[in-house]
Chains A and B, each alone.
Chain A
């Protein structure tokens, strides 16, 4: 079993020691960062600190040094965002800090995405994402999309204020097996249920698995409206998408 001292980067060591509380997560991230190259630890540390210039430079340097793009994405960028996600879940950091980390991740992904696109790596699956009708908030949705794409999903982003018919048309045209709906307002949350009802009324509910999320959305509300999955944050969204894609296979 790996020890914290097996991790070379001091920031990563400190972050695990100070912010991770669950034994399984401490073990998982200690094992992960003890295993990965020091250069990947440095990228992850820069992600956690929200330093987009540093992530940009370190990612470019890692590629120059011949490190594989997928390795940089998994062991550096996504691993760093994993710590950020836990800190957000536990209220150690809030949305401004997460946005800053996401900006840093985008700086790294700007180097990685063209390489992945050119390599023709098979997608984890296709996911449609959108904020429901009447709601123009997109920060949470966009964080989810970034993490989904970073995790290898093909994402169709329908944007904000998405009408029920637009969701249905997108599912039918794309053949996506998973749809994610977001809402930030308690006043617009009911539009998630109305969209699910529209799928039922159009006799296409069985064509897609639907996951929901957003600050006021809860597991209970998700269950009541008949969604197939609920994610409390961007990390949960990725986990839920993987689960739903697997169950649809």
Chain B
């Protein structure tokens, strides 16, 4: 099986995000492929790799240098901005994800929202900007660097508590919209700071998932904000929402974002039919049952299903469990190459 590659990894990812032809389907990690094995290989364990630029960059680079992905992602978690906003954090150790203590929310109403002046220079956001610069120096111009800026819906979970915010969304829609409107500054400012630091694209997680809220909610509260993000943040955006989302993919495809990172709860063919080419899809290899629990051949079968459906970029559905094997993650780019060699 021979393969002619005419594009660099970065060119491939950027072309796919722009809806242009590619020499082969890029393999991307819009969330995280950090694992304990990779941490050991480059001596970059959590929590250091979530809080210090050098280990963050070392661990992020392994997505390309060890796994063979076309992009790297230095923001492994979803909590950097929340830490800068003052949320109570639990940074955990090497084998657990850092989290926000959402049972101890920092704000109670829209009037409490305070976005500090040092949002993008706080140590837990500054380390991301520094890691992006280190990655560009180390990897050069040929690898795509994707950053991450959290959407206001997810930030509201962290700052107000999930239950309180979801109840507010039902009890007081205007107050909910006011909160989102205020929090959008965080998304835009941290996004632009990462663009200035050198990212090629940004993942924008905003967890209005079908496991929690309806598609109508997405339309009512988030579609217009996401349109605004696509207009104001000067790089391709990849929206990430976990869980069932096919009922809102129609709205998502109207946002002007470059891509949607979708979950294995949504079938590739149905998802492709729903977005009708108005937004690229990236995903959707199952994490817990396939990448974590099964073997490379099962991983490859899911990659083939995505490629057969015409999905534009292939990767895990979300941040992979930290105990996922390198062999299974490597099976993703291997499968992409095999599929293209056969087609």
Contacts and interface: CB of A to CB of B under 8 A. Distances in A.
A51 B214 CA distance: 20
Contacts of A133: 96
B163 A139 contact: yes
Interface stretch (B3-11, B99-107, B129-137, B193-201): B99-107
A96 B210 CA distance: 12
Interface in B196-249: 209-214, 217, 242-243, 247
B301 interface: no
Given A94-B214, A187-B318, A216-B243, A136 B90 contact: yes
A187 B209 CA distance: 16
- Interface SS, B side: loop
Contacts of B102: 136-137
A94 B163 contact: no
Interface string A110-144: 00000000000000000000000111111100100
A189 B288 contact: yes
Nearest to B243: A215
A201 interface: no
Given A137-B162, A139-B162, A187-B318, A103 B167 contact: yes
Given A187-B97, A190-B288, A134 B92 contact: yes
A102 B323 CA distance: 36
A95 B287 contact: no
Interface string A224-249: 10000000000000000000000000
A96 B167 contact: yes
B170 A190 contact: no
Given A95-B213, A160-B103, A216 B166 contact: no
Contacts of A95: 166, 211-213
A135 B322 CA distance: 14
A100 interface: yes
Given A95-B213, A133-B96, A134-B99, A186 B318 contact: yes
Nearest to A214: B211
A161 interface: yes
Interface residues of B, number: 38
- Interface SS, A side: loop
A186 B287 contact: yes
Nearest to A189: B288
B318 to A, nearest CB: 6
B113 interface: no
B325 to A, nearest CB: 12
B167 A224 contact: no
A40 B181 CA distance: 42
B288 A186 contact: yes
Q: Which of A94, A133, A142 has the most CB of B within 10 A?
A: A94
B29 to A, nearest CB: 14
Nearest to B320: A187
A91 B242 CA distance: 16
B163 A99 contact: yes
A129 to B, nearest CB: 15
A: contact size bracket: 20 to 34
B317 A99 contact: no
Contacts of B212: 94-96, 215
Q: Which of A94, A136, A187, A215 has the most CB of B within 10 A?
A: A187
A27 interface: no
A35 to B, nearest CB: 31
B322 A224 contact: no
A187 B319 contact: yes
A190 B323 contact: yes
A215 B212 CA distance: 9
Interface string A155-178: 000001100000000000000000
B173 to A, nearest CB: 11
A100 B166 CA distance: 9
A133 to B, nearest CB: 7
Given A187-B321, A190-B288, A220-B289, A138 B243 contact: no
Nearest to B104: A136
14 contacts: A91-B210, A94-B210, A96-B170, A96-B213, A96-B217, A100-B170, A136-B99, A139-B162, A187-B318, A187-B320, A187-B321, A188-B97, A190-B288, A221-B288
Interface of A: 50, 91, 94-97, 99-100, 103, 133-139, 142, 160-161, 185-190, 215-218, 220-221, 224
List the 9 closest A-B pairs by CB distance, nearest first. Answer: A215-B211, A134-B96, A186-B287, A96-B170, A96-B166, A95-B212, A189-B288, A94-B214, A190-B321
